[in-house]
Amino acid sequence: MIQQIYITDYLSDAAAQPVEMIQSLIAQCPVLLKAQWKVSPLPPLKTLFDVLTEARRAQASAPVSAVLSARQHWPVRPAFCLLPVHLGMRRDTFSLQAVVPLAAEVYAALTTRLQTHFSDDFVIQQDVSQRFWWIQPLRDMQVQCAWPQDCLYQQAFQWQPQGPDAAVIRQWTNEMQMLLHQAAHAPELSAWPTELNSLWFASVGDIPAWQPAAALIAGQGEVFAGLEACALPAIRPLALAAMLAEARTQQAVWIADAWQTCDWPALSDALQAGRISALKLVLPFAERSVEVHYKKQLRWQFWRKTPTLETLLQQLEATLMKAS
């Protein structure tokens, strides 16, 4: 059985804490210390969509937000996804540091303020996850805004909105920052996150053209729900342990939003028992990803010294610093 597991980290929650993630993973699945680890230049979502979409055809723009919006089943696809973020400010520039989770009361209060202030500009709709909003402008707009995971830790000039209406997005963003400043000092919003200092526009593009990537595509979470709504071929909602138990499936892809939700002990048991002949695991790692490649025969190469966790982390950090 050949498995591919993708941790999409679609809101970049884990990108800033790769050491904690790898420590937890190795503690639950120690056999992966025998695997080959390498830093990939692409974030997890780009790696995943390269596998799932047809390479022969032009790639759809903004596929992540398009897939996320598909699970809402709205008759008209929104133009933008609006996300709460933290921008790291420096003297001459700034960069995207994180997508910020919001308490329910903060999300509701910001929704009301945005609806009131921008009633002449766009319609705003809440998302079921309460991690972001959907925006439909009242007029046609020609502008492209990148998804946050593609811009993490990069200088601002590399991810500015592009297109004839880019100035409108910048104007709205400036007005939103003033709204955030006012809301941050509202006495009724005691759960206000101190790191929230901006809102981020991401374009919602077209649904990609899918290709048969594996005999089975399974998973859980928001990205998986969007892929299921898009009628991705061979997709089934299965837990990781259930997918690993399907011995007849020779090739399978499993997708999750967060590494904390995965059943790593079940994967460890499958690797130890030899039920998986090869594994590719893609994890978030800063603005890039880490690919973990495991082959069953490596378990019997006793002359190959197994690295320690500390050595592995040092090697990954050195590779990341060299690539920066």
Give the C-alpha distances (Å, rounded to integers) separating 138 from 39, 78, 105.
43, 11, 27
pLDDT at 56: 56
Per-residue pLDDT 10s for the chain (324 aa) are 568 999 999 999 988 788 889 999 999 999 999 899 999 999 999 999 999 998 755 566 789 999 999 988 888 889 999 999 999 987 778 899 999 999 999 999 999 999 999 999 999 999 999 999 999 999 999 999 999 999 998 888 888 999 999 999 999 999 999 999 999 998 888 899 999 999 999 999 989 999 888 889 999 999 999 999 999 999 999 999 988 887 566 789 999 999 999 999 999 999 888 888 899 999 998 889 999 999 876 444 544 567 788 888 888 877 766 655
pLDDT at 72: 87
Q: What is the reported pLDDT for 301?
A: 52
Instruction: Quickly list DSSP for 153-198.
Output: T-BGGGS--BSTTHHHHHHHHHHHHHHHHHHHT-TT-TT--TT--E
How far apart, in whole angstroms, are the C-alpha atoms of residue 312 and residue 36?
A: 10
